Structure 1
Amino acid sequence: MGCFQTSWSNSWIYPTVILCLFGFFSTMRPSEPFIIPYLTGPDKNLTNTEITNEIFPVWTYSYLVLLLPVFILTDYVRYKPVLILQGASSIVCWLLLLFGQGVVAMQVLEFFFGIVTATEVAYYAYIYSVVSLEHYQKVSSYCRSVTLVSYTMASALAQLLVSVANVPYFYLNVITLASFCVAFLLSFFLPMPEKSMFFHAKPGREVQKSPSTRTVLSDTHEREAVRRKEKTPLEIPPILGDLEDDHMSQLKPRHTALRVFVQWFQDLKECYSSKHLFYWSLWWAFSTAGFNQVVNYIQVLWEYKAPSQNHFVYNGAVEAIATFGGAMASLAVGYVKVNWDLLGELALAFFSVVSAGSLFLMHYISNIWACYAGYLIFKSSYMLLITIAVFQIAVNLSVERYALVFGINTFIALVVQTILTVVVVEKKGLNLPVSTQFLVYGSYFAIVAGIFLMRSMYIIYLATCQKKVQNSAESQNPYEPQEEPRDAVVGTKF
């Protein structure tokens, strides 16, 4: 019996099941769609101004400050302690939400919620340390899917409880707290990983992880050099290349932490040297900043358009439909045959225009149903495009390098979001009303759309010119054998 339990615990199934259950219960938050009606209602009696200007910005600032330290700590302590910290912080958040009173208590809550969101990186990174690479893609999809299902179920359940059973918002928070307690207990049953991606990596990690990324990046540099008729790094003789690698390995610092940081810097420098990856990462960072800002203040806008004290609210139903629609849109990406390397940035521009239009709709039309519809379009568009962006960035990167790029992109997004908060929301900034804020966010996405529209036109123009030159060369030398076309990444050439 003991042998059976040991083999079960050591397989990929056991940690996957426990982690998926942890993800399900940590995302089961039926109170979240109705957080603003709860805070502005008789339970807390806060004003929209206090929530917008004094409480919500604390989350943005704490998330920004904590993200990088938590990212490093997560790998250093091997994930499980950070998952336990996430569960404990969630419990503290909702205890304060249930029993805390006043602006200061809610600001403390937002700080702990910053810990919760900063530690979410451990949820997806944990699997890599306990599951073999052959199962990683499948298990990762399970972990992501279960959180979408849980959030959709929680939003739908909240709407049913409020609409049908007339359950007070207070008890939605009680259900959420109970769900977090279950997630917290489940975190203790996770096996403690023996390795991590960076600080506790197996020997030879760099040798194993580099070929796929080095191939695509070197191939990118090769094509750029051919276009400019320059010598490429691939022309270095193999023996000299080996000697150079040996020399570089001797220069690496012996101190583990310093060696990891140097390796991170080298990896990021090489990754972002690909223009294709750089521009997709740029869109990821800027659009995520805008998305987080919209999601953070959307309920404040709904409360402004239709106060919950005077109107019946459907926040839960809207969140459930938006999440489900976004999940279906993300799933459909896998079945759409598009040359994303050539037309991907045009798609980024088009859907950024759609996002801007939906935000303008929310600003200019006072009808709450139009506001709901705009949010559905906005969230579905973002989830569709972020799926494409993740695929475009991750397809040619190892797990370690993807984790680094993901962390840096998220950090840049938080920096931009912090700037938006300081300029648009804070009293020391413009201190705009919430409706005017969404006019700014719509203009923000319009600027993003304009940048990528010009970029996509440039790519298509160069690709067209290159094709004309190639056709002209073929017509002038019809008998000269032509080199077979390569499945090159068109976007990386520019």
Structure 2
Amino acid sequence: MSRLYPTVLLCAYGFFSNLRPLEPFLTAFLLGHDKNLTETEVVNEIYPIWTYSYLLLLFPVFLATDYLCYKPVLVLQATSLVVTYAMLWRAQGTLAMQFLEFFFGLATAADVAYYSYIYSVVEPAQYQRMTGFCRSATLFGSAAGCLTGQLLLSVAKAKLLHLVYVTLASAAVAFVAPWFLPGPKRSLFFHRSPGVAEDEQQGGGKPSLEKPEDVEVRAPLNAKTSAVSEAAPSGGKIKQASPSAGVSLQVSGPPEAGTQDVGLVRVLKILFEDFVQCYRCRPLLAWSLWWALATCGYFQIVNYAQPLWETVRPSQDYDIYNGYVETLSTLFGALAALLAGCLPTSWSLWGELLLCVLSLLMAVCVFVMDLLGNIWVCYASYVLFRTTYMLLITVATYQIAASLSMQRYALVFGVNTFVALLLQSLLTLVVVDSAGLGLNVFTQFLVYGVYFAVIAGIFLLAWAYKLASRRRSKQEVLMNGGTPPEAASPPAPASPPLLSI
């Protein structure tokens, strides 16, 4: 029951906070008679505020989440969602909608509290299962919201304003859940169990990454800390990964353990030391580079797909089916994440090439959406684009997390997201914002297509460089009379199953 209570509440919160029937039709609502905004105001002046707000709030909210032990930030997120949709219902004008985007950016930045809360209140053995529950709740909530919105429009002949009412009601229901969540007594950085602090001191201030038996098969991020891992009690680690692979994400101490407060300066020092050590690993750096670049482009496509569809097929003149499209793309994305666990690919050898090929496929999808001007082709290309991204981001998530402790997991993923948002803000400022070029939506998507083609080119060069380096190393070994690496050691096992998006 100690696990069931917070898990049910958190899943209910994740479901209802993502149940947003209006979301697939937001652009149509803003351009319609309820708000009477122009396309230029919506695309070039209102939507960019979300990007800037998310970027500016991400790091402060990350620190506040850890310092306040999650629950207050979840309440803040729930409040921000209610304020967002209440303003969408009642407020008028461009400035009001910009404030609305700010509150939604705050709610988005607070997602870190939702995805990390469960790690502080359940036992280590339950991390994998509970993470799956929480992520599934958000996916099902999003899919159900999109489908509900489409059915209300197409079948019940509801107005777009009615979707605002349903979305606000769902946010109000979600607002109740965080208040009843138990408050954790520990966190990753500011409120830590005493055992972890002692381990860090013994290990020179660097947290361990994984169990000692995993050292030989992982990226060499923990070469200096294996002794600490060996000395640490098993109760001080938290695992989340495929049981067959033994891959772990670790968090300090059991929930009932005492805590030791750490100052802000010490926390920032720990974060910086971990940042330097993690990004020295070349495989992690390569996957992180793709993560940041692709996520930047993905955010832009998802944010501005509706204005493109609205231009191709105006909602005031035709029936639109954005809800069905978002539902399908979400479900196919979830299936792609599961498919990633079945791929027998050797990512260490072919990873860059596959990133190149699939990034090129994403570029083709964007070009097709932009150039053909057919709404059904746009819909199909969008679904394929999102599915491909979900497949690759799942692989990238696992490849990065496989060797990291939970502290470094949060740090690396946070840095990757921050870099993605920084790039997105620059792209938005130059391409979208009226203070920059303020391009129309078709020209924007042409730029985004070129952007993904550049990503594909970068990883094609990276793969070619890796092949050349391997061939040169093999020739040097043969010339010195040694045994080639692939002959001296058994082949590396295929990537273990991936369990989350």
TM-score range, shorter chain: 0.7 to 0.9
Give the alignment partner of residue 210 of structure 1, picking from 208, 220, 228: 208
Aligned-pair distance for 1:459?
1.6
Tell me which residue corresponds to 2:192. 201
SS at match of 1:188: helix
Question: Does structure 2 conserve the Cα–Cα contact (< 8 Å) formed by 1:217 and 1:270?
Answer: no
Deviations 1:310-349 (A, max 9, x none): 1110000000011111110111111111111111121111
Deviations along 1:191-245, one digit per CA (max 9) or x if unpaired, are: 10011111011123263850428975997569xxxxxxxxx977x9x89xx9xxx
Matching residue's letter, 2:349: L
1:170-209 alpha-carbon deviations (Å, 9 max, x no partner): 1111111111111110111111001111101112326385
Deviations 1:374-405 (A, max 9, x none): 11111111111000000000111111110011
| Alignment-mate amino acid for residue 300 of structure 1 | P
Whether 1:137 aligns to 2:128 is yes
For residues 242-391 of structure 1, the aligned pairs below 5 Å read 256-391=263-398
Report the 3-state secondary structure (helix = DSSP H, G, I; strand = E; otherwise coil) of the residue aligned with 1:93: helix
CA distance in 2, matches of 1:385, 1:449: 13
Aligned pairs for 1:6-17 (under 5 A) are: 8=1, 11-17=2-8
- CA-to-aligned-CA distance 1:97-120 (integer Å, 9 cap, x gap): 011111111111001001110101
Alignment partners' CA distance in 2, 1:66 and 1:163: 38
By how many angstroms is 1:456 displaced?
A: 1.3
Which residue of structure 2 lines up, in the alignment, with residue 447 of structure 1?
A: 454
Q: What does residue 185 of structure 1 align with?
A: 176
Share of identical aligned residues, percent? 48
Instruction: Name the CA shift for 1:216/1:417 in 2 (closer, same or farther; >3 Å).
Output: farther
Secondary structure of 1:141's aligned partner? helix
Correspondence 1:47 to 2:45: no
Q: 1:107-118 counterparts in 2 under 5 A? A: 107-118=98-109
Equivalent pair of 1:156/1:320 in contact (CA under 8 Å): yes
How much is the aligned-residue C-alpha RMSD, in angstroms?
Answer: 2.7
Q: Secondary structure at the match of 1:431?
A: coil
- Which residue identity is paired with 1:327? A
2-structure distance, mates of 1:488, 1:381: 24
Q: Which residue of 2 aligns with 1:122?
A: 113
Residue identity opposite 1:319 in structure 2:
E
Cα pair distance change 1:45/1:337, threshold 3 Å: same
Shift of 1:440: 0.2
Higher helix share: 1
Match of 1:398 in 2: 405
Letter in 2 for 1:26: S
Please state how far the C-alpha of 1:472 moved relative to its aligned partner.
Answer: 6.9
| Corresponding residue for residue 445 of structure 2 | 438
Does the Cα contact within 8 Å between 1:213 and 1:398 map onto a contact in 2?
no
What's 1:32 paired with? Answer: 23
Distance change in 2, residues 1:216/1:427 (3 Å):
farther
Relative to 1, partners in 2 of residues 1:477 and 1:141: Cα closer, same or farther, differing over 3 Å? closer
Identify the residue that residue 79 of structure 2 maps to in structure 1.
88
Deviation of 1:462 after TM superposition, in Å, equals 2.7
Q: Which residue of 1 aligns with 2:242?
A: none
Aligned pairs, how many?
454
Q: CA deviation at 1:486?
A: 7.7
Counterpart CA distance in 2 for 1:201 and 1:430 is 48
The aligned counterpart of 1:98 is 89
Whole-Å separation in 2 of the counterparts to 1:217 and 1:130 = 32
Larger radius of gyration: 1
Deviations 1:5-61 (A, max 9, x none): xxx3xx222111111111001100011001111111111111111001111111111
Tell me how far apart the structure 1 counterparts of residues 211 and 47 of structure 2 sit (CA, whole Å). 39
CA 1:390–1:472 in 2, change beyond 3 Å: closer, same or farther? Answer: same
Deviations 1:49-91 (A, max 9, x none): 1001111111111111111000000000000000000001100
CA distance in 1, matches of 2:273, 2:182: 32
CA contact (8 A) 1:61 1:418 kept: yes
CA spacing shift, 1:477–1:403, aligned 2, 3 Å: closer
Letter matched to residue 100 of structure 2:
L
Instruction: Give the deviation of 1:302 after TM superposition.
Output: 0.5
Distance 2:270 2:467 in 1: 36
Question: 2:162 — aligned with what?
Answer: 171
4+ residue stretches of structure 1 with deviation over 2 A? 204-209, 213-222, 460-474, 482-490
User: Contact (CA 8 Å) 2:346, 2:494: kept in 1 or not?
Assistant: no
Cα distance change on mapping 1:278 and 1:321 into 2, 3 Å: same
Structure 2 contact 21–167 (Cα < 8 Å) conserved: yes
2:459 is equivalent to residue 463 of structure 1: no
Amino acid at match of 1:101: Q
In 2, distance between residues paired with 1:59 and 1:368? Answer: 26
Q: State the AA in 2 paired with 1:160.
A: L
* TM-score using structure 1 length: 0.87
Tell me, yes or no, if the aligned pair for 2:357 and 2:456 is still in contact at 8 Å.
Answer: yes
Match in the other structure for 1:149: 140
Which segments of 5 or more consecutive residues in structure 1 lack a partner in the other structure? 1-7, 223-231, 243-253
Kept in 1: contact 2:345–2:494 (CA 8 A):
no
Determine if contact 1:29/1:154 at 8 Å carries over to the other structure.
yes
Which amino acid letter does the alignment assign opposite residue 333 of structure 1?
A: A
**Letter paired with 2:210:** S
Which 10-residue stretch deviates more, 298-307 or 130-139? 130-139
CA displacement, residues 247-291 of structure 1 (integer Å, 9 cap, x when unaligned): xxxxxxx96211111111111111111010011011101111111
**Partners of 1:143 and 1:95 in 2: CA distance:** 26
Q: Secondary structure at the match of 1:360?
A: helix
Give unpaired runs (5+ residues) of structure 2.
Answer: 201-206, 232-260, 496-501
Shift of 1:477: 7.8
Q: 1:64 is matched with which residue: 55, 61, 64? A: 55
Tell me, what secondary structure is at the counterpart of 1:88?
helix
Match of 2:9 in 1: 18
Measure the CA separation in 1 of the matches of 2:223 and 2:440: 54
Superposed displacement of residue 488, structure 1:
9.5
Q: Between 78-87 and 456-465, report the one with greater CA deviation.
A: 456-465
